[in-house]
């Protein structure tokens, strides 16, 4: 239902410093000044800029790209948790593309990374564009043009050719640095999937903009990332799957298995260290092949279980992530993409599980109030 004028009042959280008492949505846009037209709906509560999932995969299933109807279900499941902006962290474009979602008013906004880039036979089947290491700079340029300002690489994965198979790098430093430079020249940023310490160290050496998972980062790397403005997406739900991933080796790769079990044991302590280091943290659910869509709040709850304060999680989930991606939150003329809660999620992040209202492009699309009104 497209509601013409919505008056939102209470605590309007613009960012970590600014809070307002009222904001209005008129025909899909925000205004901070009381409009002449009367409100057709009023919602009171704690209002945040729409939540952001910086690592999700809309349109991806276990066998690769999924049919449009399945991609739509994934997008709605995410939206109904308050996620109104998604950085799609890699998805094939064939045989189905998700571009059509950009024209659907009910769909959360997507910032695409293009298709993951990996070395042939060094990552999951059907998901990445498989290339040779030498082809990386050109492939990054292609994906930069196909995406929405981001490129996603697979930085490390098991290397079965090693005498003791373990996580190992996919790209040589020189090709990776050249590729990142090419992306930057094209106005795109680059993020990378890295589990290992070597993978994170290489990402920091070669100028990447963001690190996905980042389990191997030690205190020194965290400080380096902070100094360079490199954000980290700890993907806590994925960390919960590390025992299964280790078991999947069926005893054939003991070093790799121990590596995952160690990262599993350290998953909370390392995430807390990331927070303590002051590095820019972002919330990413990694909803994809092994994680269902619509469980964003499990990610924020796990961050809280790691000991990260609720206020920092809300920043990483909302205005902080928008700022990092360059997408406006609550400001004059911005798209009215908001989530409203009965109490303050900055005090207790569990509140994110019960949105009162989810407003997307000025329309009430979900939440308790929506259930009563629609």
User: Contact positions toward Zn ion, by CB under 5 A?
Assistant: 89, 286, 288
Instruction: Provide, rounded to whole angstroms, the least separation between the CB of residue 238 and Zn ion.
Output: 7
Question: Which residue lies nearer to Zn ion by CB, 42 or 241?
Answer: 241
Question: Which residue lies nearer to Zn ion by CB, 5 or 237?
Answer: 237
| CA pair distance 140, 151, nearest whole angstrom | 7
- Residues in Cβ contact with 238 at an 8 Å cutoff, skipping those fewer than 6 apart: 213, 286, 290, 291
Instruction: Provide, rounded to whole angstroms, the least separation between the CB of residue 286 and Zn ion.
Output: 4
Instruction: Provide, rounded to whole angstroms, the least separation between the CB of residue 170 and Zn ion.
Output: 15
Q: Which residue is nearest to Zn ion (CB)?
A: 286
Question: Which residue lies nearer to Zn ion by CB, 86 or 204?
Answer: 86
Instruction: Provide, rounded to whole angstroms, the least separation between the CB of residue 56 and Zn ion.
Output: 8
Instruction: Provide, rounded to whole angstroms, the least separation between the CB of residue 35 and Zn ion.
Output: 41
Q: Could you give the strand order of the β-sheet that contains 51-56, starting from the edge strand earlier in sequence?
A: 51-56, 83-88, 109-112
Question: Which residue lies nearer to Zn ion by CB, 89 or 317?
Answer: 89
Outline where DSSP puts E strands in the chain.
5-13, 19-26, 29-31, 41-49, 51-56, 60-61, 64-65, 83-88, 109-112, 117-119, 129-131, 150-154, 156-159, 166-169, 189-194, 210-213, 231-233, 338-341, 355-360, 363-366
Among 333, 357, 371, 344, smallest CA distance to 24 is for: 333
Torsion of CA 364, 370, 373, 374, to 10 degrees: 70
At 129 the three-state DSSP class reads: strand
Question: Which residue lies nearer to Zn ion by CB, 26 or 167?
Answer: 167
Instruction: Provide, rounded to whole angstroms, the least separation between the CB of residue 236 and Zn ion.
Output: 13
User: Which neighbouring-strand residues pair with 109?
Assistant: 85
Residue carrying structure tokens 């680059």: 190
Question: Which residue lies nearer to Zn ion by CB, 215 or 288?
Answer: 288
């Amino acid at each position: 239902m497209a509601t013409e004028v919505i008056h939102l009042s209470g605590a309007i959280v613009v960012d970590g410093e600014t809070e307002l008492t009222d904001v209005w949505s008129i025909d899909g846009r925000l205004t901070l000044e009381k409009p002449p037209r009367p409100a057709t709906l009023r919602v009171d509560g704690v209002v945040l800029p729409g939540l952001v999932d910086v690592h999700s995969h809309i349109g991806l299933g276990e066998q690769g790209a999924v049919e449009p109807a399945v991609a739509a279900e994934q997008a709605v499941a995410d939206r109904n948790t308050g996620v109104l902006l998604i950085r799609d962290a890699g998805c094939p474009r064939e045989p189905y593309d998700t571009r059509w979602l950009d024209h659907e008013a009910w769909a959360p906004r997507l910032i695409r990374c293009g298709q993951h880039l990996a070395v042939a036979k060094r990552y999951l089947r059907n998901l990445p564009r498989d290339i040779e290491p030498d082809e990386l700079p050109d492939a990054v340029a292609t994906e930069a043009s196909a995406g929405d300002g981001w490129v996603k690489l697979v930085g490390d994965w098991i290397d079965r050719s090693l005498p003791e198979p373990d996580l190992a790098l996919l790209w040589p430093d020189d090709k990776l640095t050249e590729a990142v430079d090419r992306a930057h020249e094209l106005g795109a940023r680059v993020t990378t999937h890295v589990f290992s310490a070597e993978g994170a160290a290489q990402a920091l050496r070669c100028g990447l903009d963001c690190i996905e998972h980042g389990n191997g980062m030690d205190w020194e790397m965290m400080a380096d990332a902070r100094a360079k403005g490199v954000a980290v997406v700890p993907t806590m739900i994925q960390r919960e799957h590390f025992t299964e991933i280790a078991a999947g080796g069926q005893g054939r790769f003991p070093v790799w298995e121990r590596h995952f079990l160690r990262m599993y044991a350290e998953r909370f302590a390392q995430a807390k260290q990331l927070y303590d280091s002051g590095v820019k943290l972002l919330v990413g659910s990694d909803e994809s092949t092994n994680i269902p869509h619509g469980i964003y709040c499990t990610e924020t709850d796990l961050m809280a279980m790691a000991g990260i304060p609720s206020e920092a999680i809300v920043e990483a989930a909302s205005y902080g992530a928008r700022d990092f991606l360059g997408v406006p939150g609550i400001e004059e003329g911005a798209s009215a993409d908001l989530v409203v809660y009965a109490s303050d999620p900055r005090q207790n992040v569990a509140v994110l599980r019960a949105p009162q209202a989810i407003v997307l492009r000025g329309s009430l699309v979900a939440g308790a109030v929506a259930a009563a009104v629609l």
